[in-house]
A = this chain, B = another copy of it.
Amino acid sequence: MRDDVRDDVLKRLSYIEGHLAGIRKMIEDDRYCVDILKQSYAVRRAIEKIEALILNGHLHTCVLEGIRGDRQEQVLGELLELYELANK
C-alpha cells in the first residue's frame, strides 16, 4: 500500500473506532433502536469506503504486477472472489 493511502485508511479507521464507541454509548444509554441502527448503517458505509481505497491500491500494485508477471490466474481469481464476498 502506498504511504498516503495507508495514512488515509488508518485515519478513517480511527474515525470508525470513534463512531463504534458512540454506538456503544447509545446502546448503554438505551437510546431509540432506530437511531442506533442508522448509525450502524453509517459505520458500514464508512468501512466500505475504506475497502474501496484498499482495493484501488491493490489494483494499481499487486494486480498490475501479477498480470505483467506470472501470477495472472491468482490475482484474477482473487478479484472475482473479493467481488463475490463483498456482496454476501
Contacts and interface: CB of A to CB of B under 8 A. Distances in A.
How many of these chains are in the complex?
Answer: 4
Say which size band chain A's interface belongs to. Answer: 35 or more
A37 B55 contact: yes
Contacts of A61: 33
B59 A80 contact: yes
B76 A59 contact: yes
A36 B54 contact: yes
- From A6, A33, A82, residue with most partner B Cβ within 10 Å: A33
Interface of A: 1, 6, 9-10, 13, 16-17, 20, 23-24, 27-28, 30, 32-34, 36-38, 40-41, 43-45, 47-48, 50-52, 54-64, 67-68, 72, 76, 78-80, 82-88
